[in-house]
Amino acid sequence: MSGYNLERLNFLVVDDNKHMRALVKTILHALGSKNVHEAADGADAFKELRHFPADIIICDWNMSPLDGLDFVRLVRTGKDSPNPFVPIIMLTGHTEMHRVIEARDAGVHEFLAKPISAKGLYSRVKSIIERPRPFIRAGLYFGPDRRRRQIDWKGSERRKNSMEMIPSKSAASAAPADEGGLSQAEVEALLNG
Amino acid sequence: MSGTSKPEFIQPPSTLKDKVAITNDGVDLDALEQAELLIAGMQGSYLEWVEEDLKKIYALYAQAQQETGSRKPVFKDIFSVAHDVKGQGGSFNYPLMTIIGNLLCRFLERLEAEDTEPKDSHMAVVKVHIDAMRLVISQRMEGEGGRAGDNLVRGLNAALSKIQPPKDPAKS
């Protein structure tokens, strides 16, 4: 059987938990990757990017001092960003709808819910390989096209309307415990537009 | 913000397809199975990691108990460890750790969102979650943990609903 050979891809794994970094690295090596660098937070990762030409970044959300979202924004829109186009997979336990949208709006390509598996991680990498997306600059947003499929839609804008009904971060944070996290399939459906 | 300006489409200078070929030794189903087996083989390491986390979270709980001022900063640290436990258990066939970690995280998130100063009753809820996690690991309750696992989760949900009754949707 044959499949994508990941040998030449450079991965940067960013997570403040060394055990998670070890797990992600183990999976990537098992899938044939040779060049996997790591960083413990967003600031370290940004420094690492200056001399390591990452092809894909796998980034945790909860980190300090620079968390995953701030790091994504810095990579996408920072004046001195070494590669604003680099594909980013956000790895996190936060799968509530407002969080997925927040990550998407920061400019992530893919979202992978923890706990992770080899199949889950590979499916996100495969998706990035098979569906390269143009980038968009619109208002304050710079990042991959958030509508992956372009459809000449004549019906009502149900998605747009439902997005408007999603509470903002501050409003949503008033009752996070009432929100269940989305499953990976639901996250995909949301991100797939 | 120029919300009405026309979006500009930009093609990235390169795509991964330039660096990735399909080869006979590429990632196929067998390679994925091998990778999953490799993760399963890390279970021993996971148990060491999680035991470290459990020591850490218990020490934080003890610190919160001694705290004479606000317990909020310590609760943030407890959340951080619970979040790690939640994120890892399922990868190593300990989904109960993910379930319990998730319950604890959501409880702590709600306290924070409501800006509640943690009281002794909240401490008790944190303690039962820590005890449940320690039980899962000490008894090596892999998978869903069978009937004991069900009982454990049911007990935690009962403790949570006692202290945080679910909001009445009719009133919200």
Asked if A19 and B15 come within 8 Å (Cβ–Cβ), the reply is no
Name the region of A81 (left: φ>0; alpha: ψ -120 to 50; beta: rest): beta
Which domains does chain A carry? Answer: 10-191 (3.40.50.2300)
pLDDT at A167: 42
Q: b/e for B131-143, b at 16 or more Cβ within 10 A?
A: ebbbbbbeeebee
- The interface predicted TM-score of the complex, written ipTM, equals 0.87
Kindly report, residue by residue over A139-162, the tens digit of the pLDDT: 889 999 987 654 454 555 554 454
Q: What is the pLDDT of residues A77-104, one digit of tens each?
A: 999 999 999 999 999 887 788 888 999 9
Tell me if chain A has a CB within 8 Å of the CB of B49.
yes
CATH at residue B100: 1.20.120
Q: Per the domain annotation, does B99 fall within a domain?
A: yes
Residue A102 near residue A69 (C-beta atoms within 8 A): yes
Q: Which domain holds residue B72?
A: 30-163
Checking phi first, is residue B140 left (phi over 0); if not, alpha (psi -120 to 50) or beta?
Answer: left
Name the residue of chain A whose CA is nearest to B164's CA.
A177
Contact call for residues A58 and A48 (beta carbons, < 8 A): no
Largest CA distance in chain A: 51
Q: Is residue B148 part of a domain?
A: yes
Give the model confidence (pLDDT) of B26-73 as tens digits.
999 999 999 999 999 999 999 999 999 999 999 999 999 999 999 999
Contacts with A31 from chain B: Cβ below 8 Å: 27, 31-32, 35
